[in-house]
Structure formats: C-alpha cells, structure tokens
Structure 1
Amino acid sequence: MKGRIGLRITSSILFLFSFILFLSGCILQRRSMHTLEHYYDTMPLPETHPLAIEKKRRKTQAENPTPSSESKSYNHGGGIQRILSTSQRQRGAQDLRWEQRQQQLEMELQREMERYKTVGYVQLVDDFTTVCSAVLMFNDLDRLRSKASRILIYPESWDMQLEISESQQKEAQKILATQEKTLNNKRKQKNTKKTSKKKKNKKEDTTKLSDEEATNPLDPPPLPHQISADKSQQYHTARRLLHLARIKHSAILLPMPDDTVNPLVMLNMTDYKRLIYLRSPAVIMKNMDEMLLHSPVATVSAPRDSSGGLSSNFLMVTPEHGELEYVMKQEGAISKDFGGLGKLVDKIYATTAMILPRWPHDVFTSDFFNSPVESNGNRASNWKPSKVLKEAYYIFFDAGKKIKNGEWEKVPQPWKLKSLEEDVAPKCQMVQETGNGEERLDCTARDVWRTLYDGYRQRRMEVCGLDLEA
C-alpha cells in the first residue's frame, strides 16, 4: 500500500514539472514571435519587397476602414476578402484567356477556309450523259473530307436556268442537312429497336410518306412550262444533277461558251492559285488538298501517258494572266478531243511542265489487265494490285484492255455492264512465291477490278439516281 502511494506522488510531481515546462515553452515561443514581428516592422525594406507591400496595404486599410460591417468581418483574421477577390481576378483572367484563345482559333479557321478557297478541283462536261460522272467525283471529295473549292464547267448553250440567290442556296443546304440528320437518326433507331416485322414495315411506310411530303431541296428551280415541254429527259436529268452538285456538294457552276469547255481554260481562272483537273469517269482515292496548297509552282504539272507524252487525264495548273492567250496564239484553237489535247499540252509544256509520277497519280482500270510478266510467262511477283489500289490517288475508267500484239479491246463502263460475272474481268494468273519458288493462282487483280466496278455502279445509283444502261 505504501509503495503505491509513493508511486502516485512521484507521478504527480513529474506531471507538474512537465506542465510547467510546456507553459514556459509556449510563453517563450510567443515572446520570440513578437520580437521577430517587431524586428520586421522596424527594419527598413525595399518598396518592392513582399513584406513592405503587405505593411503598406495594412496601413492604408487601417487609415481608411470600410463602413460595411460585413467587409470588416471579412478583413478580420487572415484577409478572407483579399483571398476572394484574388480568386475572382484569377477566374476573370482565365475567362479572358479562354475568350482570346477562342478568337484566335476562329481567326485561324477563317484563314484556313480562305486559303482553301484559292485552290480547287475542276470538272468539265460537254454532254448530258457525263454530268453524273462529274457529280460522283465531287461525292468522292466529300467522302475524303476535301476543303478545296469544286468547279463544274458546262456549255452555256444548254440554257439550264439554274439561277438562285445565295440566301436560297444556303436555305436549301440547311434543309438538306436537317433532313439527312433526321433520316440518319431514324435509321439508327430502327437498327437498335427490337420490334416485330409488322411494326417495322409500318414505320418504314410512314417514313417514306413523310419524306415524299417534305420539301426536297435538291429539286432545281421550276422551268416555264413551254420551255420544259420542249426539253428531253436527258436535259432534265442533267439539270437536276447540276443543281445537286451545287446544293449537296457546294460546287460552283460555271457556264462557258461551247468552244472554251476545255481543261486549258483553267489557265485563265486567275481567281485561283492552283487547280486540278481530273478526267471522268473515275474514282478519287486520296485527298489532294495538300498537293494543291504546297506543290512547287509550275504552270502545268502532269504525269506521263503510256506513249511518254504528258497525260491529259490529270492536269494541275497554276493560272496566269495571258497564258491562255499565249496557247491560243500557238495553235489558233484548242482541240476538244482528249488525244489532241494531250498532244497540245505536250507540245507547249513538254520542257517546262513539272512531271508527276504516273503511279499513284494516274492509274487506269486497264492496268489491272496488264500486269508485268516475267520471261517464263508468269506474272512478276513484285506486282501487287492491292498495293496499287491502296496507294493510288486517282483511278480512271479507260474502258479498255490490252490484248496480244499491242492491240486494245473495249471493256464496257461500269454502268453499261450487265453483270460483273461476264467474261471481261482480268484473268487469274500464276505467280511465283518468293523464297520457296512455288507457283500459285492469284486472283487479286480480278477482285480489285470487280471492287472498283461494283462500287462505281452502286454510287451511281445512290448519288445520281441512275440505273444501269446495259
């Protein structure tokens, strides 16, 4: 018992001494802080020093106290009001930076759009039946997300009477965009909903009726009745497709005198810095906007054709004042025949033209019939049609294939071929494997050719609404 009492007394004494030491430490610390504050208050500091700025602010605040009790309460104990105002200033600065960034992006976008307006793709049509091929080229450019201008030149003697105001064009484009968005949403809903066939058929019928009743922005302006009655069905189809090119593909329609509907008329289109003419019917495989913007300056750029001259299928032109007049003086008139046009281009620009590689810029469908052959009669192993298709910029449907003795045989165009199973496709060929030397039958060229033909037939129906003409 006595031992426990002694232990308690000892513990109490230790606790008391510890508490006294703690209090003395606190007092000593407060006095030290007070001494330091007094030292910094009396010590001279440069005006730019943070402590000097803070002392000046406190002095000003003490001399001009705010009458608001709310402000006093905020200023008390740590400067809450100052923290809030700093936060507001930071938010304001962030908002200002965001607005400046948005303005900068809008200006950059505007400059980019102006840049793309100075380059473009040109299509020429001199026959009603060729308008669809030109529209399909613009459809390819949309698919490839090209931003460059699209120009469609046609004879002014067609008298299409397609004049509409800019506001009418924008309104038609707006209606078209809304209709396409609505139809896409309906298709998505039909694909996701699991309903019975009867309900699906009813919904599809309702959609068709509403689409027929809706205004069609792709309908061209109405013609006076007496003029409409005199025109052929081909005229009305061409007129509809020209209007489609303007509304759906933002093409610039450019009627010209009949004798000037020629690719070399681009030489005189000085509102543009560079233009590309691509002969149709064809498929555009790659976006060539960067080529238009950044290619070296040359009056004419073109690949070579099979004879070694400049090709008239793919022409990139830098318009210049007086260049077309120079060409006219050289020849007197420009041939509308593409064979004659190629000879003319080669004659005038053979030494000054920038030569582009034929592959991948100017690939023909006939190339898939004429693969390189080795001395043993087998196809060269380095010939890969799938690689040609992947790397090509532009593939022209030249409606031909080379047969024996250098002669050519006609091949129907995609819309004139009754069936892709007809015996006109490229034949499968024996190819020697690298490494083991074994031979195998390769049908890649035939498959690629059928893919090109079938794709063109389908797009012609979907975009132009034209069926096969076989």
Structure 2
Amino acid sequence: MGRILLSQSQVSVVASSAVILIFTVLLFLSGYVIQQRTVTGLQAAIKPRIPQPPPSLHVQQQDDSLPELRPSRLFKGKGRVAYTKLDAAAQAGANVDWKRLAHVQLVRTHHDVCNAVMVLAEFHRLKSPARRVLLFPTHWAQEKEGKKGDISDPFLSSSRRLMRMAARRYGVELRPVSPVITSAEAEDESKDVYSLASAFALTDLDRVLSIETPGLLVDAMPLDAVLAFTESAPFAMLQETAAGDDIHSEDLLLLQPSGPTHAELLERVSAEPSFNDTLFPTIFTDPLLLASSTDDQALIRSIGTLHDAARGFNATAYLSGVSYIRFSDPKLPGPEYDVPWSQKVAARPKNKDADWTWTKLYGQFAQKRMDVCGLDLETWRG
C-alpha cells in the first residue's frame, strides 16, 4: 500500500484550516455562552419579582416589643389591628394569583393625573407583580367639542396623553368610572363627586390597594406584601401610630371588590349630599387596621416630619426603612409646584441633615415628574 505524501504547501493549508476551524468553534462557543448569559439576565430583569410575605402579617396580640398605638380617631378605638414586621422574610408566595391583585389610583381632576401615573410607573419600574389600574372620570373618554372644533376642556388633551402613555409604557389599565354623586347642574361636571368606593366594582380583582398622592415610591415590596398577604377583609387601612407624624389612616386603603358591597356603598353615599372621600372610611364599622411603623421602618413616612427632626436625625435610617414618602408638607403647597425662592428657603427644615434629605426628595420628585410625565413644575400662584 503506497503512502500519500503531502507537499509543504498542502501541509500548510491543512494546518491553517485546522487552526481556523478550532478558533471558529471556540468563537461560536464563547458567543453562545455570552448569549445565554444575556438571555438569562434579560429574563431576570423582565420577570416580576415576587415579594416575600412578612410572617407576622396577621392579626395577633400586641406584645411589649411593638409600639403602643393610639386609638383611631375615625373609629373611636374600634377595629382589629394587624401587626406587621416587614423586615422578617419567609418563603415567596408562589400560590398567589397576582393577576387578581392590583395597585389602584383614582384621579378626580386633571391635576391628579401626573401624580397618579408617577406612582404606577414606579410600581412598574420596581417590577411589582400586581396589576396597575388607573380610574378616571367617564366623561374624559367622551370627545367634547367646542364651537370652533376645539376640545372644550383645555387640560383634557394633556390628561389623555398622559393616560395613553401610562397604558403603553407602564402597562397601566385605564378604567372609566362614574361619579358617586352627580352635580345638580347637568352641564357642570366639575362638581361631580368621585370616590374610591368605585374600586369595589372591580370584581375581576380579589383585592386592590391605593396610596395617597403626591409621593415617591421607595420600595414596592412591602406594599406588594400587604396587598397579597394581609388577611381577607372587605376594608383595611393604616392605623395611626404616633401623634405628629403627619400620617393618616386614609393614606393607605386596602379594598376587597364586591358587587353587593359596591351597590350598598353607592346607596349609602347617595344619601349624603356633602359626601367626600375623607368620610369614606367611616362607612365601615369594623375595619382591619394595618400597623407597621416602628422607629426604623414604616410603610409610609411624611416629609413633613423633617421639620421637627432632632439633633440626632439619621437620614439613612429615614430613607432605608420606608416604602413610600408622602409629600404632606405643612409649609409648602405641594412638590408639583415651583414656589418663590424666598418661600422655599423659609420652608426648609432647621436641622442640617434633615434639610439635605428634604431638598433631595423635592429634587427627586421634580426630576421624576419630568421623566415620567414630561412636565415641569407648575408655577404657584397662591
């Protein structure tokens, strides 16, 4: 059998081809590994994170380690209290149907739209697994033309733009609602009364949670945990924890939609001609009260407490142990307004560290308002 002899040029070609093949395979394998890591990272980024249920989020007897709560001013001390230790984490609630839970915002006026969209946008950014629903007056969905073909309401087009953007960019569901009390003047829709009682009509949901605006959402997980793992009750709200903290029970409402409850509420509300949503919680005689605030953590904090900050104020603790910063500031009209510089300087907290935190939060709100709504601060006209 004869030998096959290769010339020097043929050996060179074979060696070059082998090297090219080896490096091509290595390049393919490295690209595949990088691709798989990228896909895994994207899946982790897109997948909603599931909050861990606080194991003590259930009704229990108050013990000495928990702060003593003052009686609720709305219920004269009535109402069962659910004590919540939000820093205690257990297993994820894999059996929770998040499609039946939602964070809800109700807008009554055009001024409310951006503040509501900002909150829902933050739930989206923080990957809350619950749905996001925006309730708005039904007549906003009806095209209303002026004499010259212009929209009669000068702010309606802006509100519609924001709501469409919220639906497209942040997955917000838009739900029109009717007023619970209609103005006696048929053409004066500005005097119609809208209430969160309309959320009880969302019977495709098992539970909805609403927080008062304006504010900044810092951590969505505690609110998701409250939404998913609180015991079943038709109505729940915050229990006031301490005098002077500027946090009220109405700042967080947890509702369980029900057709019969909705019909009963509408009947009771219609009998109160002077009804407004501040009276809404008083309709329930025995609510569930959520107690979760301690010195180092809270579901909601008020920015107004920074004016009373003591010398040992800890800005890190103030911001790290909170889920939602509520802009209930007694010295300014609201974070969405650009007040005169002299008034803003006079309103700053006296404590240096509290002043830094106060200024930072107002700046964050203004920037987020621009990023989410594309709106600058409104000029304050007194």
Say which one has the larger Rg: 1
Q: Is the 8 A contact 2:308 2:349 kept in 1?
A: no
> Is residue 2:312 matched to residue 1:390?
no
Pairwise CA distance, 1:272: 0.9
Which residue is equivalent to 1:120?
A: 102
1:342 is paired with a residue whose SS is coil
Structure 2 spans left out of the alignment, 5+ residues = 1-42, 49-92, 181-192
CA RMSD of aligned residues (A): 3.5
Which residue in 2 is equivalent to 1:342?
278
Q: Which residue is equivalent to 2:354?
A: 445
Alignment CA distance shift 1:336-1:380 (3 Å): farther
CA distance in 1, matches of 2:257, 2:371: 35
Partner of 1:281: 214
Q: 1:356 to 1:322 in 2, by over 3 A?
A: farther
The answer on whether the counterparts of 2:239 and 2:249 sit within 8 Å (CA) in structure 1 is yes
Query: What is the CA-CA distance between 1:118 and the residue it aligns to?
Result: 0.5
Pick aligned residue for 2:203 from 270, 276, 283: 270
The one of 290, 314, 335 equivalent to 1:413 is 335
CA-CA distance at 1:335 after TM superposition: 7.9
8 Å CA contact retained: 1:262, 1:336:
no
Per-residue CA shift, 1:88-137, capped at 9, x if unaligned? xxxxxxxxxxxxxxxxx9xx99x979921110111111111221111111
Matches within 5 A, 1:24-63: none
1:290 aligned residue: 225
The superposition leaves residues 378-424 of structure 1 with CA deviations (integer Å, 9 ceiling, x where unpaired) of: x264x5343122111112212414xxxxxxxx444343235599314
Q: 2:160 aligns with which of 236, 239, 242?
A: 239
1:462 aligns with 2:337: no
Select 1:303's aligned residue among 214, 235, 238.
238
When normalised by structure 1's length, the TM-score is 0.51
Post-superposition offset of 1:143:
2.0
Consecutive unaligned residues of structure 1, counting only runs of 5 or more, are 1-104, 162-222, 372-378, 402-409, 430-442
CA 257–331 in structure 1, closer or farther in 2 if over 3 Å, else same: closer
Q: Is the 8 A contact 1:157 1:258 kept in 2?
A: no
**What is the aligned partner in structure 1 of residue 141 from structure 2?**
159
What corresponds to 1:78 in structure 2? Answer: none
Q: Secondary structure at the match of 2:155?
A: helix
User: C-alpha distance in 1, partners of 2:210/2:274?
Assistant: 14
Residue of structure 2 aligned with 1:423, choices 339, 342, 345: 345
1:143 pairs with one of 97, 104, 125? 125
Partner Cα distance (2:179, 2:149) in 1:
22
Aligned to 1:58: none
- Cα offset for 1:425? 4.2
The Cα offsets for residues 292-334 of structure 1, whole Å up to 9 and x where unpaired, read as 2222112222113569996222101122341223334444457
Q: Residues 281, 261 of structure 1: CA spacing in aligned structure 2 closer, same or farther, 3 A cutoff?
A: same
CA shift at 1:160, angstroms? 4.9
Partner residue, 2:330: 400
Instruction: Give the whole-Å Cα distance in 2 for the aligned partners of 1:333 and 1:393.
Output: 37
Q: CA deviation at 1:456?
A: 0.8
Q: Could you tell me which amino acid in structure 1 is paired with residue 109 of structure 2?
A: D
SS in 2 for 1:325: helix
8 Å contact kept, 1:368–1:446 = yes
CA contact (8 A) 2:369 2:376 kept: yes
- Per the alignment, residue 317 of structure 1 pairs with 255
State whether residues 304 and 358 of structure 1, in contact with CA within 8 Å, keep that contact through their aligned partners in structure 2.
no
Give me the whole-angstrom Cα distance separating, in 1, the residues matched to 2:273 and 2:247.
Answer: 16
SS of the residue 2:134 aligns to: strand
Deviates more, 1:326-335 or 1:269-278: 326-335
Tell me the CA shift for residue 226 of structure 1: 8.1
Of Structure 1 and Structure 2, which has the larger fraction of its residues in helix? Answer: 1
Q: What is the rounded CA distance, in whole Å, between the counterparts of 1:248 and 1:113 in structure 2?
A: 28
Deviation at 1:468, TM superposition (A): 2.2
Q: Cα distance, 1:454 vs. partner?
A: 0.3
Structure with the bigger RCO (C-alpha within 8 Å, sep 6+) is 2
Residue pair 1:266, 1:319 contacting (<8 A) in 2 also: yes
SS in structure 2 of the partner of residue 152 of structure 1: strand
Cα displacement string for residues 232-275 of structure 1 (whole angstroms, at most 9, x for unaligned residues): 44211111001001101111111111337311222232211111
Pairing 1:170-249 to 2, within 5 Å after superposition: 229-249=150-170
Query: What aligned pairs does 1:4-83 form with structure 2 within 5 A after superposition?
Result: none
How much does 1:157 deviate? 1.3
Q: Sequence identity of aligned pairs in percent?
A: 20
| Aligned residues between the structures | 270
For 2:232, the aligned partner's letter is V
1:319–1:343 CA distance, 2 compared to 1 (3 A): same
Contact 2:104 2:208 in 1 (8 A): yes
| Matches of 2:219 and 2:325, distance apart in 1 | 10
Relative distance call for 1:315 and 1:227 in structure 2 (3 A) is farther
Question: 1:334, 1:123 → 2: CA distance?
Answer: 23
Is 1:370 the counterpart of 2:300? The answer is no
Change (3 A) 1:310 1:136: closer
- The separation in 1 between residues aligned to 2:168 and 2:136, in whole angstroms, is 17
Specify the SS of the correspondent of 2:253.
strand
1:415 and 1:469 in contact (8 A); partners too: yes
